[in-house]
Amino acid sequence: MKKRIIILITAMLLTLLSMAQATAKEYRVPDTGITKCYDNSREIPCPKQGQPFYGQDAQYDGN
């Protein structure tokens, strides 16, 4: 009886592991094409690191 339970648990774990590997695929985020930076109301020059509004989409290269 113990042996059957261990075999069943092992089979279940192997199934779960294989499912996790099958769904873990590399995916590249598409580029949005945005080239301008904005504050809360208007277009601004893209800020440097440490400045307010830094890190907008326009500041990153696409794939």
pLDDT of 8-47, one tens digit each?
888 888 888 877 665 556 777 788 999 999 999 999 999 9
* Domain layout of the chain by residue ranges: 2-59
Kindly tell me the burial class for residue 10, based on how many C-beta atoms sit within 10 Å of its own C-beta (0-12, 13-18, 19 or more): exposed
Residue 21: per-residue pLDDT: 61
Q: How far apart are CA 2 and CA 47, in angstroms?
A: 65
Closest-CA residue to 17 (of 7, 27, 9)? 9
Residue 47: per-residue pLDDT: 96
Task: State which H helix or E strand residue 13 sits in.
Answer: helix 2-23
Residue 23: per-residue pLDDT: 59
Model confidence, pTM: 0.52
| Amino acid identity at 43 | E
Return the structure tokens found at 13.
Answer: 């774990």
